[in-house]
Structure 1
Amino acid sequence: MDYIRAFLVGGTICLIGQILMEKTKLTSARILVIFVTAGVILGAVGVYKPIAEFGRAGASIPLTGFGYSLARGAIEEVQKNGIIGAFTGGIKAASAGMAAAVFFGYIMALIFKPRTKN
Protein backbone atom coordinates (compact mmCIF):
# COMPACT_ATOMS: atom_id res chain seq x y z
CA MET A 1 0.00 0.00 0.00
CA ASP A 2 2.93 2.38 0.68
CA TYR A 3 4.07 2.00 -2.91
CA ILE A 4 0.64 2.84 -4.26
CA ARG A 5 0.35 5.95 -2.10
CA ALA A 6 3.86 7.08 -3.07
CA PHE A 7 3.04 6.51 -6.74
CA LEU A 8 -0.24 8.43 -6.50
CA VAL A 9 1.27 11.45 -4.75
CA GLY A 10 4.52 11.53 -6.72
CA GLY A 11 2.68 10.84 -9.96
CA THR A 12 0.26 13.68 -9.31
CA ILE A 13 3.13 16.09 -8.68
CA CYS A 14 4.84 14.95 -11.89
CA LEU A 15 1.54 15.22 -13.79
CA ILE A 16 1.21 18.84 -12.68
CA GLY A 17 4.75 19.50 -13.89
CA GLN A 18 4.06 17.85 -17.23
CA ILE A 19 0.90 19.89 -17.71
CA LEU A 20 2.82 23.07 -16.91
CA MET A 21 5.50 22.17 -19.45
CA GLU A 22 3.06 21.35 -22.23
CA LYS A 23 0.31 23.90 -21.73
CA THR A 24 2.33 26.98 -20.74
CA LYS A 25 5.39 28.72 -22.09
CA LEU A 26 7.21 28.32 -18.76
CA THR A 27 10.78 27.07 -18.98
CA SER A 28 11.92 24.04 -16.98
CA ALA A 29 13.88 26.32 -14.66
CA ARG A 30 10.79 28.39 -13.86
CA ILE A 31 8.77 25.26 -13.17
CA LEU A 32 11.55 24.07 -10.84
CA VAL A 33 11.34 27.34 -8.92
CA ILE A 34 7.54 27.14 -8.81
CA PHE A 35 7.68 23.63 -7.32
CA VAL A 36 10.24 24.52 -4.66
CA THR A 37 8.32 27.69 -3.77
CA ALA A 38 5.04 25.77 -3.66
CA GLY A 39 6.61 23.27 -1.27
CA VAL A 40 7.81 26.08 0.99
CA ILE A 41 4.43 27.83 0.99
CA LEU A 42 2.40 24.63 1.45
CA GLY A 43 4.76 23.54 4.23
CA ALA A 44 4.59 26.90 5.98
CA VAL A 45 0.79 26.93 6.06
CA GLY A 46 0.58 23.28 7.14
CA VAL A 47 -0.95 21.81 3.98
CA TYR A 48 2.05 19.76 2.82
CA LYS A 49 2.53 17.83 6.08
CA PRO A 50 -0.55 15.61 5.62
CA ILE A 51 0.41 15.06 1.98
CA ALA A 52 3.94 14.05 3.06
CA GLU A 53 2.60 11.72 5.74
CA PHE A 54 0.24 10.07 3.25
CA GLY A 55 2.55 9.86 0.24
CA ARG A 56 5.89 9.49 2.06
CA ALA A 57 8.63 9.14 -0.59
CA GLY A 58 6.16 10.21 -3.29
CA ALA A 59 5.94 13.58 -1.57
CA SER A 60 9.46 13.96 -0.19
CA ILE A 61 11.51 13.17 -3.30
CA PRO A 62 10.05 15.68 -5.83
CA LEU A 63 11.08 19.32 -5.68
CA THR A 64 8.06 20.23 -3.59
CA GLY A 65 9.47 17.95 -0.90
CA PHE A 66 12.72 19.91 -0.97
CA GLY A 67 10.80 23.14 -0.46
CA TYR A 68 8.81 21.52 2.34
CA SER A 69 12.06 20.43 4.04
CA LEU A 70 13.39 23.98 3.82
CA ALA A 71 10.23 25.45 5.36
CA ARG A 72 9.95 22.81 8.08
CA GLY A 73 13.60 23.24 9.08
CA ALA A 74 13.32 27.03 9.16
CA ILE A 75 10.15 26.94 11.27
CA GLU A 76 11.64 24.48 13.78
CA GLU A 77 14.88 26.46 14.05
CA VAL A 78 13.03 29.76 14.56
CA GLN A 79 11.14 28.18 17.45
CA LYS A 80 14.44 27.08 19.02
CA ASN A 81 16.83 29.95 18.25
CA GLY A 82 14.74 32.91 17.21
CA ILE A 83 14.89 34.83 13.96
CA ILE A 84 18.40 33.64 13.03
CA GLY A 85 16.86 30.17 12.66
CA ALA A 86 15.01 31.40 9.57
CA PHE A 87 18.38 31.55 7.83
CA THR A 88 20.01 28.42 9.24
CA GLY A 89 17.14 25.97 9.73
CA GLY A 90 16.30 25.32 6.10
CA ILE A 91 19.88 24.56 5.18
CA LYS A 92 20.30 22.23 8.15
CA ALA A 93 17.10 20.34 7.29
CA ALA A 94 17.88 19.92 3.60
CA SER A 95 21.66 19.45 3.80
CA ALA A 96 21.60 15.64 3.63
CA GLY A 97 19.52 15.68 0.45
CA MET A 98 21.72 18.34 -1.15
CA ALA A 99 24.90 16.44 -0.25
CA ALA A 100 23.47 13.20 -1.65
CA ALA A 101 22.47 14.93 -4.89
CA VAL A 102 25.96 16.37 -5.38
CA PHE A 103 27.67 13.08 -4.49
CA PHE A 104 25.53 10.85 -6.70
CA GLY A 105 25.59 13.39 -9.52
CA TYR A 106 29.38 13.31 -9.41
CA ILE A 107 29.43 9.49 -9.42
CA MET A 108 27.08 9.40 -12.42
CA ALA A 109 29.26 11.96 -14.23
CA LEU A 110 32.27 9.70 -13.72
CA ILE A 111 30.42 6.63 -14.98
CA PHE A 112 28.58 8.07 -17.98
CA LYS A 113 31.00 10.74 -19.29
CA PRO A 114 28.60 13.68 -19.75
CA ARG A 115 29.04 16.04 -22.67
CA THR A 116 27.52 19.29 -23.85
CA LYS A 117 24.36 19.16 -25.96
CA ASN A 118 24.76 20.08 -29.62
Structure 2
Amino acid sequence: MDYLKAFLIGGIICAVVQIFMDRTKLMPGRIMVLLVCVGAVLGFCKIYEPFVKFAGSGASVPLLGFGNVLWKGVKEAVDKNGFLGIFMGGLEASAIGISAALIFGYLASFIFEPRMKK
Protein backbone atom coordinates (compact mmCIF):
# COMPACT_ATOMS: atom_id res chain seq x y z
CA MET A 1 0.00 0.00 0.00
CA ASP A 2 2.92 2.34 0.70
CA TYR A 3 4.15 1.92 -2.88
CA LEU A 4 0.73 2.74 -4.28
CA LYS A 5 0.38 5.82 -2.09
CA ALA A 6 3.86 7.06 -3.05
CA PHE A 7 3.13 6.43 -6.74
CA LEU A 8 -0.20 8.26 -6.62
CA ILE A 9 1.05 11.27 -4.62
CA GLY A 10 4.20 11.60 -6.74
CA GLY A 11 2.11 11.25 -9.90
CA ILE A 12 -0.30 13.93 -8.75
CA ILE A 13 2.59 16.30 -8.02
CA CYS A 14 4.07 15.62 -11.47
CA ALA A 15 0.68 16.02 -13.17
CA VAL A 16 0.04 19.36 -11.47
CA VAL A 17 3.50 20.58 -12.50
CA GLN A 18 2.94 19.38 -16.09
CA ILE A 19 -0.38 21.24 -16.25
CA PHE A 20 1.40 24.33 -14.87
CA MET A 21 4.08 23.99 -17.57
CA ASP A 22 1.47 23.62 -20.32
CA ARG A 23 -0.77 26.46 -19.16
CA THR A 24 1.84 29.14 -18.41
CA LYS A 25 4.61 30.72 -20.43
CA LEU A 26 7.20 30.07 -17.72
CA MET A 27 10.32 28.26 -18.85
CA PRO A 28 10.92 24.80 -17.30
CA GLY A 29 14.00 26.01 -15.42
CA ARG A 30 12.00 28.71 -13.67
CA ILE A 31 9.29 26.23 -12.76
CA MET A 32 11.93 23.93 -11.28
CA VAL A 33 13.35 26.77 -9.18
CA LEU A 34 9.83 27.66 -8.10
CA LEU A 35 9.24 24.07 -6.96
CA VAL A 36 12.43 24.03 -4.89
CA CYS A 37 11.47 27.36 -3.29
CA VAL A 38 7.93 26.16 -2.56
CA GLY A 39 9.35 23.03 -0.93
CA ALA A 40 11.62 25.16 1.26
CA VAL A 41 8.76 27.47 2.24
CA LEU A 42 6.49 24.52 3.05
CA GLY A 43 9.29 23.08 5.18
CA PHE A 44 9.68 26.40 6.97
CA CYS A 45 5.93 26.50 7.67
CA LYS A 46 6.13 22.92 9.04
CA ILE A 47 3.63 21.71 6.45
CA TYR A 48 5.90 19.51 4.35
CA GLU A 49 7.13 17.11 7.05
CA PRO A 50 3.65 15.73 7.88
CA PHE A 51 3.01 15.49 4.13
CA VAL A 52 6.20 13.40 3.71
CA LYS A 53 5.17 11.14 6.60
CA PHE A 54 1.85 10.54 4.85
CA ALA A 55 3.06 10.23 1.25
CA GLY A 56 6.54 8.74 1.74
CA SER A 57 8.78 8.79 -1.32
CA GLY A 58 6.00 10.26 -3.42
CA ALA A 59 6.57 13.55 -1.63
CA SER A 60 10.28 13.37 -0.82
CA VAL A 61 11.63 12.54 -4.28
CA PRO A 62 10.25 15.40 -6.46
CA LEU A 63 11.80 18.86 -6.46
CA LEU A 64 9.52 19.92 -3.63
CA GLY A 65 11.35 17.39 -1.47
CA PHE A 66 14.72 18.80 -2.56
CA GLY A 67 13.66 22.24 -1.35
CA ASN A 68 12.59 20.72 1.95
CA VAL A 69 15.96 18.96 2.32
CA LEU A 70 17.74 22.26 1.69
CA TRP A 71 15.60 23.96 4.33
CA LYS A 72 16.21 21.25 6.94
CA GLY A 73 19.96 21.35 6.29
CA VAL A 74 20.11 25.12 6.65
CA LYS A 75 18.00 25.04 9.81
CA GLU A 76 20.22 22.41 11.47
CA ALA A 77 23.44 24.14 10.42
CA VAL A 78 22.26 27.53 11.66
CA ASP A 79 21.37 25.98 15.03
CA LYS A 80 24.83 24.40 15.19
CA ASN A 81 27.12 26.99 13.54
CA GLY A 82 25.20 30.25 13.63
CA PHE A 83 25.22 32.59 10.64
CA LEU A 84 27.68 30.48 8.62
CA GLY A 85 25.16 27.65 8.64
CA ILE A 86 23.14 29.56 6.06
CA PHE A 87 25.86 28.94 3.50
CA MET A 88 26.88 25.39 4.37
CA GLY A 89 23.76 23.63 5.64
CA GLY A 90 21.94 23.19 2.36
CA LEU A 91 25.02 21.88 0.60
CA GLU A 92 25.82 19.39 3.34
CA ALA A 93 22.26 18.09 3.47
CA SER A 94 21.89 17.66 -0.28
CA ALA A 95 25.43 16.66 -1.27
CA ILE A 96 24.56 13.01 -1.93
CA GLY A 97 21.62 13.83 -4.19
CA ILE A 98 23.52 16.49 -6.12
CA SER A 99 26.51 14.17 -6.56
CA ALA A 100 24.30 11.33 -7.79
CA ALA A 101 22.57 13.61 -10.30
CA LEU A 102 25.91 14.80 -11.67
CA ILE A 103 27.43 11.32 -11.88
CA PHE A 104 24.41 9.68 -13.50
CA GLY A 105 23.98 12.62 -15.89
CA TYR A 106 27.61 12.27 -16.92
CA LEU A 107 27.22 8.51 -17.44
CA ALA A 108 24.03 9.06 -19.46
CA SER A 109 25.95 11.41 -21.76
CA PHE A 110 28.10 8.45 -22.79
CA ILE A 111 25.11 6.23 -23.53
CA PHE A 112 23.02 8.80 -25.39
CA GLU A 113 24.02 11.44 -27.90
CA PRO A 114 23.61 14.83 -26.21
CA ARG A 115 23.18 17.86 -28.47
CA MET A 116 21.92 21.39 -28.22
CA LYS A 117 18.40 22.23 -29.38
CA LYS A 118 18.11 24.38 -32.49
TM bin (shorter chain): over 0.9
Match of 1:70 in 2: 70
Displaced runs of 4 or more, over 3 A: none
Give the C-alpha shift of residue 37 in structure 1: 0.5
1:42-74 C-alpha deviation (Å, 9 max, x unpaired): 011111111112222211211111111000100
Range 64-73 or range 74-83, more displaced: 74-83
Report the TM-score, using the length of structure 2 for normalisation.
0.93
Q: Name the CA distance, whole Å, in 1 between partners of 2:52 and 2:107.
A: 29
Give the C-alpha shift of residue 10 in structure 1: 0.8
Match of 2:29 in 1: 29
User: What is the percent sequence identity of the aligned residues?
Assistant: 48
Amino acid in structure 1 at the alignment position of 2:77: E
Give the C-alpha shift of residue 116 in structure 1: 2.2
Match of 2:20 in 1: 20
Q: Name the CA distance, whole Å, in 1 between partners of 2:91 and 2:59.
A: 19
Aligned-residue CA RMSD (Å): 1.2
Are 2:81 and 1:104 aligned? no
Amino acid in structure 2 at the alignment position of 1:29: G
Q: Name the CA distance, whole Å, in 2 between partners of 1:5 and 1:69.
A: 21
Match of 1:54 in 2: 54
Q: Name the CA distance, whole Å, in 2 between partners of 1:113 and 1:23.
A: 30
Q: Name the CA distance, whole Å, in 2 between partners of 1:85 and 1:115.
A: 38
Amino acid in structure 2 at the alignment position of 1:71: W
Q: Name the CA distance, whole Å, in 1 between partners of 2:2 and 2:112.
A: 32
Q: Name the CA distance, whole Å, in 2 between partners of 1:94 and 1:44.
A: 17
Unaligned runs of 5+ in 1: none
Task: Give the count of matched residue pairs.
Answer: 118
SS in 1 for 2:31: helix
Give the C-alpha shift of residue 41 in structure 1: 0.4
